[in-house]
Amino acid sequence: MTLVVNDLKVYYNTLAGDVRALDGVSFEIADGEIMGLAGESGCGKTTLGNSLIRLDGRMRHVDGSVELDGQVLPIADSEAMDRFRYHSISVVPQYAMSAMNPTRKIGRMSRELIESRGIRYETVREEYERRLTLVGLHEGVLGLYPMELSGGMKQRVVMVLSTLLDPSLLIADEITSALDVSTQKAVAESLVGLRDNGFVRSMIVITHDLSILHEVADTILVMYAGHLAEKAPTESVIRHPRHPYTRMLIDSLPEVGVRFDQKRLEGIPGKPPSLLDPPAGCRFRARCPLADEVCQEQPPFVEIADGHQVACWKVE
Amino acid sequence: MGRLELRNVNKVYRVGTFGGDTLHAVKDVSFTAEPGQIVALIGESGSGKSTLGKMILRLTSITSGQILYDGQDVASLKGRQLKPYQAAVQGVFQDPFSSYNPIFKADRVFSMVKDSFYPHVPRSEWDDRLEAALLGVALDPDACLHKYPHQLSGGQLQRMLVARALLMEVSFLVADEIISMLDASTRVDVLNLLGDLKTRGLGVLFVTHDLSLGNYISDTAIILRKGRIVERGSTADVFDRPSHPYTQMLLESVPALHDARDPEHWREVAAARERGTCIYHQRYPEADAEAAAGDDNPIMAEIEPGHLVTCAHVDEGGGCGQAASGSAGQRRAT
Query: What is the per-residue pLDDT across A256-307, written as a single tens digit (0 to 9) for each?
Result: 777 888 888 888 887 788 888 888 899 999 899 999 999 999 999 999 998 9
Chain A residue whose CA is closest to B155: A271
Cβ within 8 Å, pair A249-B184 = yes
Average pLDDT over residues A58-87: 91
Q: Would you kindly state where each structural domain of chain A is located, as residue ranges?
A: 3-98+167-310
Do B57 and B157 belong to one domain?
Answer: yes
Q: Which of A293-297, B260-264, B320-324 has the lowest mean pLDDT?
A: B320-324
Same domain, B249 and B213: no
Sort out which chain A residues have CB atoms less than 8 A from B211's CB and list them: 181, 256
Q: Quick one: which of B180, B308, B330 has its CA closest to B244?
A: B308
- Interface-testing mutation among A260, A266, A288, with chain B (most B C-beta atoms within 10 A): A260
B146: containing domain = 33-64+77-232
Task: For residue B25, tell me if it sits in a domain.
Answer: no
Contacts of A182 in chain B (CB under 8 A): 44, 249-250, 253
A259/B261 CB distance under 8 A: no
What is the pLDDT confidence band of residue B226, given thresholds at 50, 70 and 90?
confident
Pairwise CB contact (< 8 Å): B187 & A260? no
Q: What is the pLDDT of residue B297?
A: 55
pLDDT at B152 over 80: yes
- Yes or no: is domain A3-98+167-310 CATH 3.40.47.10? no
The pLDDT of residue B323: 36
CB-closest option in A180, A253, A258 to B45: A180
Q: Percentage of residues in chain B with pLDDT exceeding 90?
A: 22
- In this structure, is residue B9 part of a structural domain? no
Is residue B131 located within the same domain as residue B180?
Answer: yes
B135 occurs within a structural domain: yes
The answer to which of A30-44, B10-24, B267-281 has the lowest mean pLDDT is: B267-281
DSSP for A188-247, written as a single string: HHHHHHHHHTTS-SEEEEEES-HHHHHHH-SEEEEEETTEEEEEEEHHHHHHS--SHHHH
Q: How far is A147 from chain B (nearest CA, A)?
A: 15
Bridge partners for A28 per DSSP: A4
Q: Cα separation of B307 and B235, whole Å? A: 9
- Asked if B224 and B205 sit in the same domain, the reply is yes
Tell me the pLDDT band of B264, cut-offs 50, 70 and 90: low
Q: State the smallest CA–CA distance between residue A67 and chain B in angstroms.
A: 32
Q: Is the CB of residue A277 less than 8 Å from the CB of residue A307? A: no
Which region holds residue B281: left if phi is over 0, alpha if psi is between -120 and 50, else beta? alpha
Are both B150 and B210 inside the same structural domain? yes
pLDDT, tens only, A106-159: 999 999 999 998 899 999 999 999 999 988 888 889 999 998 888 888 888 999
- Report how many domains make up chain B: 2
Model confidence band, residue B213 (pLDDT cutoffs 50, 70, 90): confident
Residue B20 lies in a domain: no
In a domain, B194, yes or no: yes
Q: What is the pLDDT of residue B32?
A: 92
Contacts of A257 in chain B (CB under 8 A): 215, 239, 256, 260-261
- Between B57 and B309, residue with greater pLDDT: B57
CA distance B321 to B255: 24
pLDDT at B265: 58
Which among A199, A195, A205 has a CA at the least distance from the CA of A175?
A205
Over chain A, what is the mean pLDDT? 89
> Which residue, of B232, B258, B282, is where some domain finishes?
B232
> Are B91 and B198 members of one domain?
yes
Tell me: the pLDDT tens digits for B285-295? 555 555 544 44
Contact A309, A303 (CB under 8 A): yes
C-alpha distances (whole Å) from B123 to each of A135, B115, B129 are: 63, 11, 10
Instruction: State the Cα–Cα distance between residues B35 and B31, nearest whole angstrom.
Output: 13
Question: Is the pLDDT reported for residue A75 higher than 70?
Answer: yes
Instruction: Give residue B276's pLDDT band: very low, low, confident or very high (50, 70, 90).
Output: low
Q: Helix, strand, coil shares of chain B as percentages rounded to 5?
A: 45, 20, 35
Q: Is residue B71 part of a domain?
A: no
Write the DSSP string, A59-96: EEEEEEEEEETTEE--TT-HHHHTTTBTTTEEEE-S-G
- Of the candidates A211, A260, A264, the beta carbon closest to that of B257 is on A211
How many CA atoms does the CB half-sphere of B215 hold within 13 Å? 23
Asked whether residue B142 carries a pLDDT value surpassing 60, the answer given is yes
Q: Using the predicted structure, report yes or no on whether residue B333 has a pLDDT greater than 70.
A: no
pLDDT bucket at B246, cuts 50 / 70 / 90:
confident
CATH number, residue B175: 3.40.50.300
Residue B18 has pLDDT above 60, yes or no: yes
Q: Final residue of a domain: which of B199, B232, B265? A: B232
Model confidence at B303: pLDDT above 80: no
Please give the average per-residue pLDDT across B102-118, as a whole number.
Answer: 90
- Domain co-membership, B91 together with B212: yes
Which of B203, B232, B261 is where one domain is finished? B232
Q: Is pLDDT at B115 greater than 70 in this prediction?
A: yes
- Asked if residue B119 belongs to a domain, the reply is yes
